[in-house]
């Protein structure tokens, strides 16, 4: 997962290390879905779920894998009792924003300058939310 994450986010930020991912997965509230091509990490607490990250290896983009991982995240979150899903996305990540928009997520907040970029200044994070029936 760390390799996929690093490749997926190489242009914008640093990928998560294997230790960071392993530490997250130690929690019984955190779950992983997908494979080496694309994966989602989520966390469900009470009736809310958070998409911690969604990563697709650049060699496997445009194949519907991110959409499938997002759908699996929502189904798993729902099975864990979540009724609302949240996520953060960089304001300049047009592809991810289009994916989330198509999936029914709407913006609820903005965090100014949340993401650091290697070659440019900080980028806002958009907080998105969706009801999962």
Q: What percent of the chain has pLDDT over 70?
A: 98
pLDDT at 121: 81
- pLDDT one-digit tens code per residue, 64-104: 999 999 999 999 999 999 999 999 999 999 999 999 999 99
pLDDT at 13: 66
3-state secondary structure at position 133: coil
In the predicted model, what is the mean pLDDT of residues 6-26?
86
Mean of pLDDT over the chain:
93
pLDDT at 1: 94
What H or E segment, with its residue span, contains residue 87? strand 84-90
Q: How confident is the model at residue 11 (pLDDT cuts 50, 70, 90)?
A: confident
pTM over 0.85: yes
- pLDDT one-digit tens code per residue, 29-48: 999 999 999 999 999 999 99
Long-range Cβ contacts of 97-102 (<8 Å, 24+ apart): 97/126, 99/66, 99/67, 99/70, 100/70, 100/128, 102/67
Buried b (16+ CB within 10 A) or exposed e, 3-31: ebbbbbbeebeebbeeeebeebeeeeebb
Distance (Å, whole) CA 55 – CA 53: 6
């Amino acid at each position: 997962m760390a390799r996929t994450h690093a490749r997926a986010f190489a242009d914008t930020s640093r990928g998560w290390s294997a230790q960071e991912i392993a530490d997250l997965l130690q929690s019984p509230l955190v779950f992983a879905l997908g494979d080496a091509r694309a994966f989602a990490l989520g966390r469900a607490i009470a009736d809310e779920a958070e998409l911690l990250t969604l990563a697709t290896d650049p060699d496997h983009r445009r194949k519907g894998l991110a959409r499938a991982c997002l759908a699996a995240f929502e189904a798993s979150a729902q099975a864990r009792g979540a009724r609302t899903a949240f996520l953060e996305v960089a304001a300049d990540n047009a592809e991810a924003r289009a994916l989330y928009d198509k999936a029914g997520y709407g913006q609820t907040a903005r965090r100014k300058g949340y993401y650091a970029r290697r070659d440019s200044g900080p980028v806002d994070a958009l907080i998105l939310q969706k009801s999962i029936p």
